Structure 1
Amino acid sequence: MTEPRRLRVLLLAHSFNSLTQRLFAQLRGSRHKVSLELDISDSVTEEAVVLFRPDVVLAPFLKRRITESVWRQHLCLVVHPGVPGDRGPSSLDRAILRGELRWGVTVLQATGEFDAGPVWASESFEMRAGTKASLYRNEVTACAVAAVQQCLRRLERGEEAPALPAEAHTGQFWPLLRQTERAIDWSRDDTATVLRKIRSADGAPGLAGSLFGKPCHFFDAHDATAAARELPGAAGDVVARRAHALLRKTVDGGVWIGHACVAPDPSDEPPLKLPAAEIFAEFTARLPDLPVPLSRDPSQWDELRYREIGPQGARVGVLTFDFYNGAMSSRQCGRLLDALREVRTRDTRVLVLAGGADFFSNGIHLNTIEAEGQRAGGSAADASLRNIEAIDDVVLEILTMTERLTVAALRGNAGAGGVFLALSADEAWAHPGVVLNAHYKNMGNLYGSEYWTYVLPRRLGAQRARELTQARLPQLAGDAAEDGFLDACFGDDAASFFDRAMQRAQALAGSPGYEEQLARKQRRRAIEESEKPLAAYREEELAQMRRNFYGFDPSYHVARYHFVHKLAHAWTPRHLALHRTEPPR
């Protein structure tokens, strides 16, 4: 049998987003030669093609068309988050607004007409009640990977685009969705409609509206009907707060609005997406606070929730911390620390750290840090140190939880400190779709904390730990499990993974060898503490971090500013643009 040829694949993307990272890692693991060029300008793209000489240019995430000089000379395949025949830049937004039951992903060949070239592959999925960003990170990404792999297999065999029905190649072009097309009418829209409209614009551009008379954009919305029905007020009124969110009444209930972005004053810094209650603190101080217990019915939304499963004597606690975009501010770290201390009082044998549905964790909250630096008398350096200390406290609580076994169950991606938060558990599990970024260097050469100098070498050894953190590349969960970085990788998707994770956690809690496994954990912790205390690791890491925050090199602060304001890249990082570091072919 003839060995399939190895393809040279040039990824062309607006940014190194979650889908692009997944494809980058997936295709590299499939024998292909993969390089990336960010879509900075036509001339840069032309240069990259000359240097790399790809078999195919693959565009998973673009905001403008591929230049004609490239698509006429090279096969260019574009990943479109829509079904065959759908055309336009707001495909997923419109599908959510229309209430589509099924949607899909199409890979088509770039031509002179937008989204109208030959269709090479398509995949479909069932829609769920999630945000645009969540659907993109999960269903769209999974379908895109499958469709791209179909295309590459055809190319390996020397095939061209398959013959598909005419409607797959044509269709109505829908322009960029305007804010007026999804504007909320608070006097008429019910809760389901309000949620659908906000979710169609989350995470970008957000839904335009106003709060307390200030123009802003809404994000991070959740059903608040259970709480709203108990409160007086008219539809459109903001009537309560919980954690970082504000409750706004609808005609039949209410919604929690978790994050917002205030329209800028021309003299101000660009606006930041921030917790809604913090942005409008001067107005919300007088609103009733509606806290809920950590253990509660899931219809009552909050970022943190705890439940228990399994029989008496083999109970499993499950702690969910679903922080928006996986970012953990000092306040959120404090809440998580309190929750961990509360659940330690429960009679359980295993604690599952479930993170969030879309992200396990991405570490410290760069947006709130940047906002602190913009305030009069504020200091981004001080805010950064407070945030690092707060997340270190969370990790320390888990590392010293020697009275039970702990498991990190990663349903979504994890990055930077969020990865090492997961590794602080005794076992770390994930499903094959999870992407890990176990490094800090992309954020202005940040050294990192979260006890990573303790937890990572324990798993991989000092040399492999150093290689992983220096490489700055995304890693698939399957590869991480083979490497020993994770303890297990299983399941077809996040839902099937989590069901099986709960079963495995219960089996662990009821295992005949549980007591001996727990005793080994306690002995190892005691030995390692005597050899080098955790406090020493923490202080060594923080000494390096203080240099990042307060030292003469401003790289971290510059990188953070660029990240939170989503500024366009001036060049492609050389660890991704292999064609700019390797000798020409």
Structure 2
Amino acid sequence: MHILLVASAFNSLTQRIFAELRDRGHTVAAEPVRGDASLREAVRRHAPELVIAPMLKTAIPEDVWSAHTCLIVHPGPPGDRGPSSLDWALQEGAGWWGVTVLQAVAEMDAGPVWASAPFPVPASGKSDVYRGEASDAALEAVLQAVERFASGTYTPRPQDATEHGLRPYLHQDLRRIDWSSEPTEIVLRKLRAADSHPGVLDSFLGGEWYLHGGHPEDRLVGRPGQVLATRCGAICRATADGAVWIPQLRAKRRPGGEKTFKLPAVQALGDRLRDVPELTAELWAPSRHRTWADISYDEHASVGFLRFSFPSGAMSTDHCRRLLAAYRRACSRPTDVVVLGATRDFFSNGIHLGVIEAAADPAQESWAHIQAMDDLVEAVLTTTDRLVVSALGGNAAAGGAMLALAADEVWCRAGTVLNPHYRLMGLYGSEYWTYTLPRRVGAREAERLTREALPVSAASALRTGLVDRVVACGPEEFSGEVTRLAAGLATSARLHARITEKKAVREREEAAKPLRAYRAEELERMRRTFFDAAAPYHALRSAFVRKEQATRTPEYLPDEAEQRSVSEL
């Protein structure tokens, strides 16, 4: 079937549905929609059999939905309506929620239901839930709806709006935190419901900020609303009965000023934190207290687990250097296997474009970032006394995907989407990708992946050799499954033979072409881009962090027929 995806942005869910539908033999095109005219033009150009809107902020015009079956993916159970569905579920503490695929009609979210799927709501931020449990449910519902549509015999059922009904937009007055009276759990609900957009607007330390992210702290206390401490770029603020860690802030936009963007909270606040103490995070800390750190380590038998989780998967120079120090410490332990990755959500998306954009010299900061990323990847590539596993509980892209490929084995959850390319940000790329990517998938496939710059599903990544194992489980179960699988790897009969073989292969490949040669070649291309003020990278980066339309972004992603014609050039 020929399917057109229309979306306000080619976000994580749109990418996953795009990749999964292609895996199942459908021809799929995806178009960003910036208004009725662009939507009409997309439908005219592609003449699809079915239109699906995974994430659309505007209504589909009547002349389109009356002529074509248009399916809307709504992040709420049947009967729920409104633009802030998942936000309300998280802020009200719902234990279960759902995704509904409904047909577009004149009234928003009121069309008949083609499919729906429930999902459990974990104690996580909205963006994490959206990429995890909600994404799993959305894919299940979309695949069922496509199958029912293809049958030509299914009649969608009318909605029953009695249970949930139309909810209003969750505006800032309803999100506002009363620090003087609200306990930690209520504060966390509000923070999680606004992560990563739109954030919770708050006034403190002489400024107005949107708060992004929230994690509990049960040992620090103080006057409600007070900034008690900092750690790894985050701030800790007192609640009525405890405290919360907030990793990121976004300054409120000034009238007539540029759009603002998220930054590590400490960087955003600058010298306003002059008298606030910095608390170190113990790498190997007991878990009996609720607190937050972005890097941690623990061991089970002969397996070391180095866990890291950075907001939006973005890694600044500081993140990379601290993770490298933690990795070196992990490799000093008497283990046979080291597992890298978060317990859930993003593995990594590479360099931190927000920190770069905010720098006094973005070109120099870009250069520092890429050097730090390369140092980290090199450390993984040159580890020859144990096996290293990258465990991807969520998505990975650009340099973050290449960091994963530096490991001996790459395991990912079935819902993971990989974007092993840099082209859409106007970059050639580094992180030793010219060594690791062809080594895994072959030179021809590596060239295709980086040139087409399309998302890759977990199943497709497994078929091409991009990853070694796909773990079919929910986001909350992934960490436990990885622990079990890693224990099996550490006790396998061939473990020490594999380590010996790994060392010999690294020595042969180093003799053929040293890693420093790959790095030098990649960095020379990157240096030219970073220090060229006219390079598209700078405009693309600025548009990306500010969530603006980038004038240099391709107007649309090609469908499969167009991809074939491109690959033949």
Q: What range describes the TM-score normalised by the shorter chain of this pair?
A: over 0.9
Tell me the number of residue pairs that the alignment of Structure 1 and Structure 2 aligns.
Answer: 562
Q: Is the 8 A contact 1:366 1:564 kept in 2?
A: yes
Matches of 1:186 and 1:162, distance apart in 2: 46
Tell me: CA distance 1:96–1:494, structure 2 relative to 1, closer, same or farther (3 Å). Answer: closer
* Residue 221 (str. 1) matches residue 214 (str. 2): yes
Task: Tell me if 1:47 matches 2:41.
Answer: yes
1:305 corresponds to? 296
Per-residue CA deviation, residues 24-45 of structure 1 (Å, 9 max, x unaligned), is 0001111112111111221221
Question: Are residues 1:576 and 2:554 paired?
Answer: no
Q: Distance in 2 between matches of 1:286 and 1:24?
A: 49
* 1:332 aligns with one of 306, 311, 319: 319
SS at match of 2:132: helix
Q: In the alignment, which residue of structure 2 is the partner of 1:531?
A: 512
The amino acid that maps onto 1:113 is E
Other-structure match for 1:400: 382
Question: Over residues 240-265 of structure 1, what are the superposed CA-to-partner deviations in whole Å (9 max), with x where a residue is unaligned?
Answer: 11110111101110001110001133
AA in 1 matched with 2:225? G
Matches of 2:563 and 2:519, distance apart in 1? 38
Distance 1:552 1:564, change over 3 A: closer
1:274 to 263, 268, 272: 263
Partner of 1:375: none
CA RMSD of aligned residues (A): 1.8
Name whichever of 482-491 and 19-28 sits farther off.
482-491
Which residue pairs with 2:16 in the alignment? Answer: 22
Where does 1:460-499 land on structure 2 (aligned, <5 Å)?
Answer: 460-499=441-480
Change (3 A) 1:278 1:174: same
Q: Tell me how far apart the structure 1 counterparts of residues 561 and 22 of structure 2 sit (CA, whole Å).
A: 17
- Maintained 8 Å contact 1:235/1:248: yes
1:472-494 deviations in Å (ceiling 9; x for gaps): 00001111111111111122223
Shift of 1:571: 9.0
1:507 equivalent to 2:501? Answer no
| Alpha carbons of structure 1 residues 523 and 545: separation in structure 2 relative to 1, 3 Å | same
- CA positional deviation for 1:168: 5.0
| Local SS of the residue matching 1:362 | coil
In 2: Cα distance, 1:506 partner to 1:34 partner: 40
Whether 1:130 and 2:124 are equivalent positions in the alignment is: yes
Pairwise mapping of residues 342-381 of structure 1 onto structure 2 (< 5 A)?
342-355=329-342, 357-372=344-359, 378-381=360-363
2:303 to 316, 334, 351: 316
Letter in 1 for 2:354: N
The 3 A distance-change label for structure 1 pair 149 and 186 is same
Once the two structures are superposed, the pairs formed by residues 84-483 of structure 1 within 5 Å of their partners are: 84-163=78-157, 167=160, 172-226=165-219, 228-229=220-221, 233-266=222-255, 268-298=257-287, 299-310=290-301, 315-355=302-342, 357-372=344-359, 378-444=360-426, 446-483=427-464
C-alpha distance in structure 2 between counterparts of 1:398 and 1:577, whole Å: 35
Question: Deviations along 1:157-186, whole A, 9 cap, x unmatched?
Answer: 10243335x515996322211111121111
| Separation of aligned partners in 2, 1:541 and 1:582 | 26
1:134–1:358 contact (8 Å) kept in structure 2 = yes
Moved more, 399-408 or 500-509: 500-509
Q: Secondary structure at the match of 2:500?
A: helix
Give distance in 1, aligned partners of 2:469 and 2:89: 35
Conserved? CA contact 1:471–1:575, under 8 Å: no
Residue 62 and residue 111 in structure 1: after superposition, are their counterparts in 2 closer, same or farther (change >3 A)?
Answer: same
AA of the residue aligned to 2:441: L
Alpha-carbon distance in 2 for matches of 1:574, 1:176: 30
Tell me the residue number matched to 2:567.
none
Closer, same or farther in 2 for the Cα pair 1:86/1:565, shift >3 Å? same
- CA shift in 2, pair 1:147/1:270, >3 Å: same
Change (3 A) 1:579 1:29: closer
Deviation string, structure 1 residues 65-122 (Cα, Å, up to 9, x no partner): 0111101111111010011111100011111112112110111111111111111111
> Secondary structure of the residue that 2:319 maps to in structure 1?
helix
Whole-angstrom CA distance in 2 between matches of 1:367 and 1:246? 18
- Give SS of 2:502's match: helix
Rounded Cα–Cα distance in structure 2 between residues aligned with 1:578 and 1:110: 23
- TM-score, normalising length from structure 1? 0.93
2:31 is aligned with 1:37: yes
Amino acid at match of 2:473: D
Matched-pair contact (CA < 8 Å) for 2:27–2:560 = no
State the alpha-carbon separation in 1 of the partners of residues 552 and 147 from structure 2: 31
Unaligned runs of 5+ in 2: 565-569
Shift of residue 495, structure 1, vs aligned partner: 3.4
Contact kept? 1:574, 1:580, Cα under 8 Å: no
Q: 1:481 to 1:334 in 2, by over 3 A?
A: same
Q: Alignment partner of 1:543: what SS? A: helix
Whole-Å separation in 2 of the counterparts to 1:575 and 1:114: 26
Q: Identify unmatched segments of 5+ residues in structure 1.
A: 1-6, 373-377
Q: 1:568 to 1:452 in 2, by over 3 A?
A: same
Deviations 1:282-316 (A, max 9, x none): 02232111112100124331000000002xxxx10
